Structure 1
């Protein structure tokens, strides 16, 4: 590399003198105008021989560096800096640790070698718009204005094609429609404006195609319609605006396609409109304002369901489908990793749906979480049993736990639908009234009192030899005898309520009891009343536990 101090030195040092394009560049820089080499808007094709270039387009990298650094006293650059388009630039452009005071506006230029700009400071704008070059090594770059690489092409396969590690961009960074063959390393990049990668193509299959680890984007990051072949690593990304992945394509089979671990997106996260994903989308501990998505765009692996990680992902609202069925399918794709179940995605979704007013759907999500937790609790109970006896006991008691969990789901929705226990209690009451009514009508009831049973009035009605015979002694006794008329009147509905509702006492079971000797229904009701009473206790206890939140696992 030659460090020219004056234009005179360039004329004396370079054999044959400056090229026609270099002389035009000098005149343009001195007048503050752009230098156009070749047809406007066209990037020169790849030369067959870089040692023999057309003089009207050939500019040596050392000469370009001379003007970028302000030119000499005999050819000073204006405050506009350098504007150059359509040039063929030969040699290494080394701007390491340099300060560029004016603009660096290169358009449609083709470079033989890459650009070295580590720790370079550009006080104004830097542009490589539609330029083609092997690489840009600019870690630690600082710019006071924007950085524009729209339509640029970087070709450095298997290496770092674009290195902007720890770069500090004063305004925005534009990479829209660029093509980067090799790694794009933007780790710890900082920009006060936006980062636009709309329509950009990143290719580094098998490695990190786009590295934005711990990048700090002051406004929004746009990956809309981008194509990323390799990992898009956005671990620890922080944006002051939105993250848009609308219509993007992430391809990294057998690895992470999109890594958003610990990312903090201040506003909307767009993940919709026919996004194509092959690989893992990792949202572990990521945060965003609003989630604007299409559940069909998320990766789905029918074999193991582990191409999506949702553990720790938080958001404030959802703009997209909010019905429980759709969202539960989405959660099922991302609630496990390496065989471990994570309940947090269900709790997060239930909270958001509740806050948005979709309480019915939120409840369905909570119930689904209860099912998952009980199922995995049984699995973990067996898996954590190390001693053979403990393992045997765990397996032996699993059916009992399954029955208990099934009752909890059926009767209370695992604590989130206590109204189910009331419905079950009403059904039990209705069922109990049937045998109570039939047993009474067939004459299988008797007073539930030793004094009444031994009274002369009851003996008259209950005796087998009484005449005329009484087919329903209890009914006739309670209607016609003096003692019976003063006795508790039988009511099939109240009797059934006394059986199945343990917290009330209507006096029916204290006054009347079915007999096992008088008829078929009486015999069966005598045994069934224990079943009804036990079922009533279970339903009532579970309902009370659901109302107080004892059996909820939120």
Structure 2
């Protein structure tokens, strides 16, 4: 391209480039006429072929321009800084496969962005940008930070809004207040630092996945606080070394899964101070070091099979935690009760641990055949499956009192009057109630009528009570 072909606006850019000087066409967002119009082909020529000036660092720095045509840098190598801030792009720029040193499109309006497999030695700044189509950064390698604060991406129906699949970011992904209408994809992405998506808004019209971050790897925290997710938040298989913080966030996907964090390895998972989740919460097979889940956030349906965690925060009574386990759509999951029991025992709350184990036995009872349920009710009523040992003493004392009074008022006849020991109503009742133990009263006296039926009832009740006590003690000993 000859220098004579340049418009006055393009000449300003051409002359400023070798010196790395900025060209400011103003910040007026009205009609940007020819005096602010720069052809993308001119910018491409500058970046690829313009001579360098000795002692100067060339850079493309433009503000407030209208850029026509396609800025095509596919597979190009550009060593100069590119800063095109507050610019209007008529066509979608294409940086696919390019090698850049730094890219800044702050406050610009674009039809979209094609940058698959781009490699940037520094950072990429898309702060306050407005994209009317997909932003494609699949496989991008960014050595610095990717900034997307307050960026808006609106994709046509059926198309993804932001693609960062398999992207590698050397520092952080900083995108607070990001607005995305359409699916955001972070599957397989690797971030050496943290992800800041606080106050972001992800909308997937018509349902489906709003934020897909399967197998995401983050070496620090992933913060999605005060955010809104319309659709599924999918982070299956993610590896997050720090904290996944979903505090104050509204997740809504009625009739589907709101949060799927299955098969993940997470340092800390925070679900607190937000509205009740609308949809299913799926944490199956995940490993979490610290789990902070407030009952008010938990939805009506959960999936917790094989979820493991070391610490459970904050410390709440067992009755506040148990409803979450009862909502598991997979049915009775013994592992979930064992995990909650272990969490209470780690902090020394043995009473809460026993309550969880009792709830586990009661939930299991519903899965048994009728005769198993009957036996379960007997164990529950007598000694609370061994977790209410004082009930045995209460039953024993009550039955002993009933029998002692009854037989004291109507003593049974001795079988052999000259050989029978002196009748004692208390020890006679204990002989009936306690298997194996023999005070010599039961075999020496024979009740009749209603007293005989009472003796049968005491014998049967004694055997049930003794069996349930032994079962409970055995369970307690084996558990310890």
TM-score band by shorter chain is: 0.7 to 0.9
Instruction: Give the match for residue 532 of structure 1.
Output: 458
Instruction: Give the match for residue 372 of structure 1.
Output: 363
Question: Which runs of 5 or more structure 1 residues have no equivalent in the other structure?
Answer: 1-8, 48-52, 301-306, 379-397, 454-486, 517-522
Structure 1 residues 284 and 425: CA distance shift in structure 2, 3 A: same
Of the three residues 7, 10, 33, the one matched with 1:54 is 33
Instruction: Give the match for residue 416 of structure 2.
Output: 449
Instruction: Give the match for residue 322 of structure 1.
Output: 316
Structure 1 residues 34 and 418: CA distance shift in structure 2, 3 A: farther
Query: Is residue 336 from structure 1 mapped to residue 329 from structure 2 by the alignment?
Result: yes
Query: Is residue 253 from structure 1 mapped to residue 230 from structure 2 by the alignment?
Result: no
Rounded Cα–Cα distance in structure 1 between residues aligned with 2:21 and 2:311: 51
Instruction: Give the match for residue 541 of structure 1.
Output: 467
Determine helix, strand or coil for the equivalent of 2:204.
Answer: strand
Determine helix, strand or coil for the equivalent of 1:316.
Answer: strand
Q: Residues 80-119 of structure 1 correspond to what in structure 2 (within 5 A)?
A: 81-101=81-101, 103-111=102-110, 113-119=111-117
Structure 1 residues 542 and 198: CA distance shift in structure 2, 3 A: same
Instruction: Give the match for residue 138 of structure 2.
Output: 139
Structure 1 residues 433 and 68: CA distance shift in structure 2, 3 A: farther
Rounded Cα–Cα distance in structure 2 between residues aligned with 1:250 and 1:68: 45
Structure 1 residues 246 and 549: CA distance shift in structure 2, 3 A: same
CA displacement, residues 491-516 of structure 1 (integer Å, 9 cap, x when unaligned):
32222212211132222334x41453
- Higher Rg of the two aligned structures: 1
Instruction: Give the match for residue 391 of structure 1.
Output: none
Shift of 1:32: 5.1
Contact 1:498 1:505 in 2 (8 A): yes
CA displacement, residues 419-471 of structure 1 (integer Å, 9 cap, x when unaligned):
4334322322222211122124xxx443x437x27xxxxxxxxxxxxxxxxxx
Query: Is residue 409 from structure 1 mapped to residue 365 from structure 2 by the alignment?
Result: no
Shift of 1:311: 2.0
Structure 1 residues 236 and 419: CA distance shift in structure 2, 3 A: same
Count how many residue pairs are aligned between Structure 1 and Structure 2. Answer: 456
Instruction: Give the match for residue 410 of structure 2.
Output: 439
Instruction: Give the match for residue 281 of structure 1.
Output: 281
Query: Is residue 358 from structure 1 mapped to residue 349 from structure 2 by the alignment?
Result: yes
Rounded Cα–Cα distance in structure 2 between residues aligned with 1:264 and 1:504: 56
Instruction: Give the match for residue 52 of structure 2.
Output: 73
Greater helix content:
1
Instruction: Give the match for residue 501 of structure 1.
Output: 434
Instruction: Give the match for residue 19 of structure 1.
Output: 9
Q: Residues 262-281 of structure 1 correspond to what in structure 2 (within 5 A)?
A: 262-266=263-267, 268-281=268-281
Query: Is residue 420 from structure 1 mapped to residue 346 from structure 2 by the alignment?
Result: no
* TM, length-normalised to structure 2: 0.86
Shift of 1:367: 1.1
Determine helix, strand or coil for the equivalent of 1:414.
Answer: helix
Of the three residues 124, 127, 134, the one matched with 1:126 is 124
Q: CA RMSD in A?
A: 2.9
Instruction: Give the match for residue 470 of structure 1.
Output: none
Shift of 1:82: 3.0
Rounded Cα–Cα distance in structure 2 between residues aligned with 1:66 and 1:176: 35
Instruction: Give the match for residue 193 of structure 2.
Output: 193
Rounded Cα–Cα distance in structure 2 between residues aligned with 1:76 and 1:152: 30
Contact 1:248 1:276 in 2 (8 A): no
Question: Which runs of 5 or more structure 2 residues have no equivalent in the other structure?
Answer: 60-78
Rounded Cα–Cα distance in structure 2 between residues aligned with 1:117 and 1:36: 26
CA displacement, residues 75-123 of structure 1 (integer Å, 9 cap, x when unaligned):
853688233422223333211111112x222211112x32211111111
Contact 2:385 2:468 in 1 (8 A): no
